[in-house]
Structure 1
């Protein structure tokens, strides 16, 4: 037992002596290849970056204009009663490119203030994230209703004055408030879009009932008139114009 204790004490002394001599540049053998601690730090940063990239679709949906655009486009398709025309791929593609168009000023500002200085090693990673979030936060704050923002501020029990501004609101409060504001705006636009097509459905249904053609689905008769009305008023132009100008 005493011999075992002596061996352990001797081993600890040797480890401490060698540890102090190589502490400046420690290495770890992995599969026969030495890796310095700095290499592991870089690998961890790369792992974090790849993990963050998996949240890009969620960021695109929650913190940009994509939500409002895709909901309005879905409403117009349902109002026309065209089933799967245009198909989902077309609507999502159109919504994506409209999102890129409306978010272009914000992306340009982020690239100028955060990405380029970070690539040129003029600012740190933390400063780049903070500077990159500022234009995005300003965009969300402009589109968020005060009532929705006050709701999440009160629920989160953050000590903020009633006359708060953007600097007082944390991102975890701003994002959900922005989301429900976008949903409300999109549903308001969808309601307005439904009205003219609903009138056509009512007129066609009343006409068919007065003619005794109760077995004929009114949608089959009203669909051509809806498409004709949509074409005559240049519907796509009006809808896209109203969506884009709504973010100004």
Structure 2
């Protein structure tokens, strides 16, 4: 006969429920029979799961390794790839192409490093070799002579100097483009030849703006010369001489610009002293008169035109 369970409910009397024919399951925590049965059932199941995961891992490893087995031997790199960088740098082109792959890659890395280093200082070098130095100094002196500390701003002065420098250097830039850049782009000139050819117009421009006294001074310090013609002056001597001459010319032009504004300051200071207004700053009173004078004489046009004409000789 099957076992029966009796449940007593409050107020309703005993209720009988038929239990299953299976062996009753004990829910007590300390029952050793239930614990052993659970362990016996879980052990085979965990071993089966472990073998399934191991099989999946092996299949995944084989699947990932199949493309690697199918790859061929990579082709050796061509050292001649560095020729483009060699041409841009203008040196070591043929040597890098004729060396082994390791030396070629080392040469390529060295050339890239040199190019990146030159790119950081190249703008400053090019600006010092053009009319930019004289123009920016004159405009800065003009702003100070007017008594304006931040007007026009530095960005405006730099923009004016750059655009006026492009205007003044336009003939030289066109000559460089015609004689050096276009033949190099067409493959008619190598990198070193392009640099040498492009330096000729710049050399001629700087020689025209450099004083003989400055060239002689730096040539004596470098223990070189005398030179048969201006074309024989090396860039190592011409560059510092050109910058020195540009600074001197810029300060001379700045002095001439400063004179009329100094006169206005003196007149205003004298009038204020005669009126007994010694405590009043003459700069506050003289600034409107300076601006009025500068606008009436069309000062910006005169300044820009004078700077451009100063490079005509």
Q: Name the TM tier (shorter chain).
A: 0.7 to 0.9
CA-based RMSD of the aligned residues comes to 1.6
CA deviation map 1:173-209 (0-9, x unaligned): 0000000000000000000000000000000001001
Q: Which residue of 1 is the match for residue 77 of structure 2?
A: 35
- Whose Rg is larger? 2
**CA shift in 2, pair 1:117/1:49, >3 Å:** farther
Q: Which residue of 2 is the match for residue 214 of structure 1?
A: 278
TM-superposed deviation, 1:36: 2.9
TM-superposed deviation, 1:126: 1.1
Q: Which residue of 2 is the match for residue 138 of structure 1?
A: 204
Question: Aligned to 2:77, what secondary structure does the other structure show?
Answer: strand
Q: Which residue of 1 is the match for residue 9 of structure 2?
A: none
Q: Which residue of 1 is the match for residue 300 of structure 2?
A: 236
Q: After the TM superposition, which residues 63-82 of structure 1 pair with which residues of structure 2 at under 5 Å, given as runs? A: 63-82=129-148
Q: Does 1:181 align with 2:223?
A: no
Q: Which residue of 1 is the match for residue 182 of structure 2?
A: 116
Question: Aligned to 1:184, what secondary structure does the other structure show?
Answer: helix
Q: Which residue of 2 is the match for residue 14 of structure 1?
A: none
Q: Does 1:83 align with 2:83?
A: no
Q: Does 1:224 align with 2:288?
A: yes
Between the aligned partners of 2:77 and 2:129, the Cα distance in structure 1 is 39
Q: Which residue of 2 is the match for residue 24 of structure 1?
A: none
Between the aligned partners of 2:116 and 2:185, the Cα distance in structure 1 is 18
Extract unaligned runs of 5+ from structure 2: 1-73, 86-107
Q: After the TM superposition, which residues 4-83 of structure 1 pair with which residues of structure 2 at under 5 Å, given as runs? A: 34-40=76-82, 42=85, 43-44=108-109, 45-83=111-149
CA deviation map 1:93-141 (0-9, x unaligned): 1101111111111110001000000110011111111110000000000
TM-superposed deviation, 1:34: 4.8
Question: Aligned to 1:54, what secondary structure does the other structure show?
Answer: helix
Between the aligned partners of 2:295 and 2:247, the Cα distance in structure 1 is 27
- Which fold has the larger relative contact order, with Cα–Cα distance below 8 Å and residues 6 or more apart in sequence? 1
Extract unaligned runs of 5+ from structure 1: 1-31
Q: Could you tell me which of 236, 260, 264 is aligned with 1:172?
A: 236
Between the aligned partners of 2:130 and 2:157, the Cα distance in structure 1 is 16
TM-superposed deviation, 1:159: 3.5
| 1:160–1:168 Cα contact (<8 Å) kept | no
Q: Which residue of 2 is the match for residue 154 of structure 1?
A: 220
Q: Taking structure 2 as the reference length, what is the TM-score of the superposition?
A: 0.66
Q: Which residue of 2 is the match for residue 195 of structure 1?
A: 259
Q: Taking structure 1 as the reference length, what is the TM-score of the superposition?
A: 0.82
TM-superposed deviation, 1:222: 0.1
Between the aligned partners of 2:291 and 2:152, the Cα distance in structure 1 is 12
TM-superposed deviation, 1:160: 2.1
